[in-house]
């Protein structure tokens, strides 16, 4: 099931808008009452009245500003949801755990350019190595058939792949292996956009190196 979650901070803006409207109505009522019941023999000084009118104008302008900010916040929320929806249904190329279901998976190792040999290392969800497979040091992509060290098919689950590259028998680099996974959910948070992949893995949108549909 696909879902989009956008976490925003509209509560503060709404409360501010309501508070400004309340202040505006209260000030208007107090000013009207003061004018209605002032002593006709000692009317309000014109300078004092001008100050109160200026204050009234300031409160009114603040109320309008709060309303505009509230509308802007709503539009930004809608834009954020629109941005998130563009991720749904796409396949993201990421270095993330692979959800194994028995079928072969196209993977993208990144051997070091100085390597003369390379090994694909497979770890289970607990981090234990379950298989090591020799691959070409120049391979940019290959079909990985999920199997353990004895050749038996791996049970369904989550597995992480890395590439170890060697030069003259010395390990020179260990790099994560990428694959394409379908995006099931996208959500915003303090750290940015997070993607939930089919199979349960979560990755940052910033970790995605390619998209396809």
CATH of domain 88-213: 2.60.40.4070
pLDDT value for 29: 75
pLDDT digits (tens, 9 = 90+) for 182-197: 999 888 888 788 899 9
Predicted confidence at residue 122, as pLDDT, reads 97
> What is the per-residue pLDDT for 12?
43
Better-predicted residue by pLDDT, 27 or 1: 27
Show the beta-strand stretches assigned E in 73-208.
91-94, 98-100, 105-108, 117-123, 129-135, 142-144, 157-167, 170-176, 178-189, 192-197, 202-204
Q: Using CA atoms, how far apart are residues 186 and 183, in angstroms rounded to an integer?
A: 8
Q: Are strands 192-197 and 202-204 parallel, antiparallel or unpaired?
A: antiparallel
Q: Is the pTM of this model over 0.85?
A: no
User: For position 112, what pLDDT does the model report?
Assistant: 84
What's the pLDDT at 175?
A: 94
Residue pair 31/49 in contact (Cβ under 8 Å)? The answer is no
């Amino acid at each position: 099931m696909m879902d989009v979650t956008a976490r925003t901070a509209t509560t503060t803006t709404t409360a501010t808008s309501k508070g400004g409207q309340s202040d505006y109505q209260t000030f208007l009522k107090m000013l009207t009452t003061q004018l209605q019941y002032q002593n006709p023999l000692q009317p309000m000084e014109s300078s004092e009245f001008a100050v109160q009118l200026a204050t009234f104008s300031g409160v009114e302008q603040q109320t309008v500003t709060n309303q505009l900010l509230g509308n802007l916040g709503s539009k930004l929320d809608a834009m954020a949801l629109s941005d998130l929806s563009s991720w749904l249904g796409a396949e993201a190329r990421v270095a993330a755990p692979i959800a194994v279901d028995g079928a072969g998976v196209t993977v993208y190792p990144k051997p070091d350019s100085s390597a003369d040999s390379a090994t694909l290392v497979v770890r289970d969800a607990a981090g234990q190595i379950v298989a090591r497979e020799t691959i070409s040091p120049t391979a940019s992509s290959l079909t990985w058939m999920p199997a353990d060290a004895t050749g038996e098919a791996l049970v369904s689950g989550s597995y992480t792949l890395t590439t170890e590259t060697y030069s003259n028998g010395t390990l020179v680099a260990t790099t994560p292996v990428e694959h394409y996974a379908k995006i099931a959910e996208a959500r915003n948070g303090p750290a940015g956009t997070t993607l939930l992949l089919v199979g349960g893995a979560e990755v940052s949108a910033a970790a995605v190196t390619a998209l396809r549909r």
